Amino acid sequence: MNAFKKIPGLLKRHAQAFWYVLMVILPVILKTGKRPVIFSRFAGMGDILCSIPACLELKKIHSGATFIYNCDASSACVPEMGGVTNFITSFREIGLISFWYRWLLAGFYSFGSDDDQFTSNHKEHFLQSYARQNDVTVTGEHPHLKIKPALDEKISALRKQWKLEGRPLVLIHPGPSYPVKHWSRASWATLVEKIKTATGGTVAQLGARAGSYAGAAADDFQPVSGAVCLVNELTLPETIALIAQADLFVGIDSGLLHIAVSVRTPAVGLWGPTSARFLFLESESTFFVTSGVGCQGCHHRVPRLHWFTNCPHEIKCMAAISVAEVFQACQRALGEKVQTAPAA
pLDDT at 207: 86
Residue 210 has pLDDT above 60, yes or no: no
The better pLDDT of the pair 343, 283 is held by 283
pLDDT at 2: 60
Neighbours of 104 (CB within 10 A): 16
| Domains (range + CATH), the chain | 2-132 (3.40.50), 149-335 (3.40.50.2000)
Residue 215 has pLDDT above 60, yes or no: no
DSSP string, 148-206: PHHHHHHHHHHHHHTT--SS-EEEEE--SS-GGG---HHHHHHHHHHHHHHHS-EEEE-
pLDDT at 189: 97
138 pLDDT tier (thresholds 50, 70, 90): very high
Residue 185 has pLDDT above 70, yes or no: yes
pLDDT at 120: 80
Distance CA 151, CA 148 (A): 5
Residue 223 has pLDDT above 70, yes or no: yes
DSSP string, 317-336: HHHTS-HHHHHHHHHHHHGG
Least confident of 12-16, 216-220, 262-266, 294-298: 216-220
- Mean of the per-residue pLDDT values for the chain? 90
Q: What is the pLDDT of residues 254-274, one digit of tens each?
A: 999 999 999 999 999 999 999
The better pLDDT of the pair 226, 311 is held by 226
Query: Can you tell me the mean pLDDT for 22-43?
Result: 97
